[in-house]
A = this chain, B = another copy of it.
Amino acid sequence: MSAILASATSADVTSAVVTAGDVAHRLELVREHAPLVQCLTNVVVANATANILLALGAAPAMVDIPEEAGIFAGVASAVLVNLGTPGAEQREGMRVAARAAADSGTPWVLDPVAVGALPVRTALAAELLQARPTAIRGNASEIMALAGSGTGGRGVDATDSVEAAADAATSLAHRSGAVVAVSGAVDRITDGERTVLVRTGDARLTTMTGGGCALGAVMGAFLAAGGDPLVAIVAATSVYTIAAEDAAERSEGPGSFAPAFLDALASVDGDAVRARARLT
């Protein structure tokens, strides 16, 4: 994710579909409204996800038991369903929350972690698609598996490239109605008709546990402001990866990257985004 277009001006690398100004505006809306993002996520990244939402200016709530998840999805600003460690009780909570989100019009994000490689989550992801997620975020292997064109990679690691998943992403967007985001060195985001590539970022995000998973929660925060979901997902990804660049500059390894990333997320603002977003 090196800044390969670093010498270009912002105007050169602003997509016609989503501009750097759109990204900045969305970030300002998140800061203004402090959306409450309900996360049904895996135990490995729950803490990191909550910290990342707080640093951004959003509010996390990890409400995931079946008896409460649906009630909360009706009042939350957005919902994240991440299939990383899908125990039986949480699976039921996910079903209830996704249905309640769909029924109440709460935007929700599906992160199909390791789908394709493992049976329980693969079946669950297929079932959850029926509750029409607003966005789906995964690596190339996960998106290909969910679209029916791959096997899901190696645990949480992609074994396919973002480019290889392009057709699968478009097809999945058409079939599901969701904006589909394929994470990688360059992030590919499509609603099936329009496609935007987010070219900011840093490889250290991949050595921070939760670096990918928490992006799903951040997408929820950006979706909460309403408007065009494609713009929201591009904005979330752009802000997130710009902060990653800042953190990489200020850190010496994967350990110092994590606190630097939270500091960077808290301090990145509309002006920084206007100057540095690289979208094509």
Contact = CB atoms under 8 A, between A and B. Distances in A.
A17 interface: no
Contact of A258 (B36, B71, B88, B255): B255
Interface centre among A62, A121, A157 (most CB of B within 10 A): A62
A155 B51 contact: no
Contact of A86 (B59, B61, B65, B253): B65
Contact of A87 (B72, B76, B89, B264): B89
Interface centre among A51, A264, A267 (most CB of B within 10 A): A51
Copies in the complex: 3
Contacts of A84: 62
Given A156-B61, A253-B263, A45 B47 contact: yes
A266 B76 CA distance: 37
Interface size on A, as a range, is 35 or more
A261 B55 CA distance: 16
Interface in A57-78: 59-65, 67-68, 71-72, 75-76
A46 B213 CA distance: 14
A9 interface: no
A234 interface: no
Contacts of A210: 47
A269 to B, nearest CB: 13
Interface centre among A71, A156, A259 (most CB of B within 10 A): A259
Given A154-B36, A253-B266, A254-B262, A209 B120 contact: no
Nearest to A39: B44
A85 B62 contact: yes
A120 B120 CA distance: 27
Contacts of A46: 43-44
Contact of A209 (B60, B155, B207, B254): B60
Given A207-B55, A262-B253, A118 B63 contact: yes
A45 B55 CA distance: 16
B254 A263 contact: yes
A54 B121 contact: no
23 contacts: A36-B154, A36-B155, A42-B62, A44-B47, A44-B60, A45-B47, A47-B48, A51-B207, A51-B208, A51-B209, A54-B207, A55-B207, A59-B154, A61-B114, A61-B156, A63-B85, A65-B88, A68-B118, A72-B155, A255-B264, A256-B259, A256-B263, A259-B259
8 cross-chain pairs, A with B, having the tightest CB-CB distances, nearest first: A255-B262, A253-B263, A255-B259, A61-B155, A50-B209, A255-B263, A68-B118, A44-B46
